[in-house]
Chain A
Amino acid sequence: MTSAENLQAFRRDGRIVVVGASLAGLRAAETLREEGFTGSLTMIGDELGEPYDRPPLSKQVLTGWVPAGNTKLPRRREIDAEWLLGVPADGLDLAANHVHLADGREVPFDRVLISTGVRARPWFVESEAALDGVFVVRTREHAEGLQRALAAGPSRVLVIGAGFTGSEIASICRERDIPVTVAELAPAPLVGALGAMIGEVAADLQRAHGVDLRCGVKVTQLEGDAQGRLRRAHFEDGTTIDADVAVVALGGIRNTDWLRSSGLAAGVWGIACDTGCRALDLNGLVTDDIFVAGDVARCPNPIYEYRLISLEHWANAVEQAGVAAHNMVSAQADRWPHLTIPLFWSIQFGVNIKSVGVPTFADEVVVTQGSVPDHRFVAAYGYRGRVTAAVSFNNAKWLDHYRRLIETAAPFPPPCPAPDQPADMKPVPVDFPGPVLLAQGATVVVTGHDPSERRVTAVRQHR
């Protein structure tokens, strides 16, 4: 049989398994059917219920407006799938081509899409994480529990971590008139994603809205009472703060543990893939039948020196899922590269914060339009004299302009495109926290000497 005949047979009667039934998995499944795949489609997900949207969980769900169970995603079309929900996958066998489920079942496939996403990083002491009043926010059950705790009128909420999610939750607390303390290890909120200049603006924004913001501090212990309810938190400097709710917002952990012995290039950083969304194996060789999309994928981006970048962005999950699905049912010559310029948004303290590009891929930043004190401006990020990213505060209409500058490698600093040129347009160093704050550690070693025997081996991390 020719490969064209093989592809036709696969498109007609093949078996595709999607592991991870959230936004990326659902959109991929819809694209597979849209592109004419008529074989069997199996959706595997560890959560029960229909695929739902997560961004509202830290926003309109926590305000009490939208019930946590009411963010189910709209469908673009029928997908005629078999849904295996409530049981996580715990292994992938590339020799036998099947997915292993935690309850012992084995699900065979011809091609598989991995879209297992991330989970919330829990508080590091299990007994303290289990205290009544300690939350993370990733699933609708999490959001529902926290919403109830906020509705009960806590005396104070402690938010640990001032990234986007932590800042959004602090904003909701203030909107609900609940006293809130935000504890952040870095020198300012959002600094790890957007740098020191925007971090300072974000800090002003929080304080102006009555947040007790404490930066450069570390929470070391969560203390409960005899009934197992959270009472106070201890800081590294020996001080304490009384709080009956704590939200641990320390980012996510990519769900790759189940792939540990699969032979794929999977680890804490995600699953490496090519721009066609095909997974790489441990040796960095591209696989044929394993595809990756969404938060768990780590994909090279040619605009950013072909660096492998993983993005926990809604729009990236949708776009990458579409490309992956298209490529799963297409011949090599018809495949598409996932060449996206990252786009991200956050809503907090009445401000719409959006970013385009990769702000961490920069050495300088400059306010190109608007006014920082009014919280309505755009800042452009540059790397070695070209525009690589932009961040807007209540100025989203301009971001598309900056996307084009990034795509065309326009010179940095760019001119102000509008009449609202700021008085001072001097670029400043972008100033991200050093690698000590961000380091992840080694995950592989190389063995063998002869080119025919050199191989990469995964290192188990002991943490």
Chain B
Amino acid sequence: MRRSGAGFRARSSQSLVVVEMRVVVDLSRCEGYAQCAFLAPDAFRMHGEEALMYDSNPDDAQRDRILRAAAACPVQAILVDRLEGRDAPTEASPS
């Protein structure tokens, strides 16, 4: 299965499979406006007044909020995956 280990992972004791998002923030561009922390607080958190920490691979359940946060970023520093890991390498060593 090509997508195993890439876009899916098992969560908790239930065998529920959840798609995760990929997010990266260009922190050299980020100026700490905190719009993202307001719009998607489970994925973006302020550390002190201005520094941002974020969840790089949040649950897909947060997708709408995260896309809204990315769109609202005044310096457009948030990059969200466009393809959900379809082109990923397998986790095992290549032959």
Q: With CB as the reference atom, state the residue of chain B lying closest to A318.
A: B26
- Identify A84's interface contact among B53, B79, B94, CB under 8 A: B94
A396 interface residue (CB < 8 Å to B): yes
Q: Are A75 and B85 closer than 8 Å at their CB atoms?
A: yes
Q: Are B83 and A65 closer than 8 Å at their CB atoms?
A: no
Chain A residues proximal to chain B, CB less than 8 Å = 43, 48-50, 52-53, 55-56, 59-60, 63, 65-66, 70-81, 83-87, 313-315, 318, 343-345, 347, 349-352, 354, 376, 394-397
- Identify B55's interface contact among A52, A66, A87, A354, CB under 8 A: A66
Give bound CA distance, A3 to B50, whole Å: 51
Interface members, chain B 69-88 (any A CB < 8 Å): 79-83, 85-88
Q: Are B27 and A55 closer than 8 Å at their CB atoms?
A: yes
Determine how close the nearest CB of chain A comes to the CB of B46; give it in whole angstroms: 9
Q: Are A80 and B51 closer than 8 Å at their CB atoms?
A: no
12 extra interchain contacts, Cβ-Cβ under 8 A, other than A50-B88, A72-B57, A394-B49? Answer: A48-B92, A66-B56, A74-B79, A74-B81, A78-B83, A79-B87, A83-B90, A84-B94, A85-B89, A86-B94, A345-B28, A396-B30
Chain A neighbourhood of B28, CB < 8 A: 313-315, 343-345, 354
Q: Are B94 and A75 closer than 8 Å at their CB atoms?
A: no
Chain A neighbourhood of B92, CB < 8 A: 48
Number of A-B contacts (CB under 8 A): 127
Given contacts A53-B24, A343-B28, contact A351 B51 (CB under 8 A): yes
- Identify B47's interface contact among A80, A347, A396, CB under 8 A: A347
Main secondary structure of the interface of A (DSSP, over half): loop
Q: Are B79 and A76 closer than 8 Å at their CB atoms?
A: yes
Q: With CB as the reference atom, state the residue of chain B lying closest to A45.
A: B89
Q: With CB as the reference atom, state the residue of chain A lying closest to B49.
A: A394
Chain B neighbourhood of A72, CB < 8 A: 22, 56-57, 85
Determine how close the nearest CB of chain A comes to the CB of B45; give it in whole angstroms: 8
Q: Are A60 and B54 closer than 8 Å at their CB atoms?
A: yes
Give bound CA distance, A396 to B28, whole Å: 9
Q: Are B87 and A394 closer than 8 Å at their CB atoms?
A: no
Q: With CB as the reference atom, state the residue of chain B lying closest to A319.
A: B28
Determine how close the nearest CB of chain A comes to the CB of B85; give it in whole angstroms: 7
Q: With CB as the reference atom, state the residue of chain A lying closest to B5.
A: A49
- Identify A77's interface contact among B52, B83, B85, CB under 8 A: B83
Q: With CB as the reference atom, state the residue of chain B lying closest to A376.
A: B49
- Pick the 10 closest A-B CB pairs, nearest first: A350-B48, A83-B89, A74-B22, A74-B81, A352-B51, A70-B57, A315-B28, A343-B28, A347-B51, A352-B50
Interface members, chain B 1-31 (any A CB < 8 Å): 5-6, 20-24, 26-31
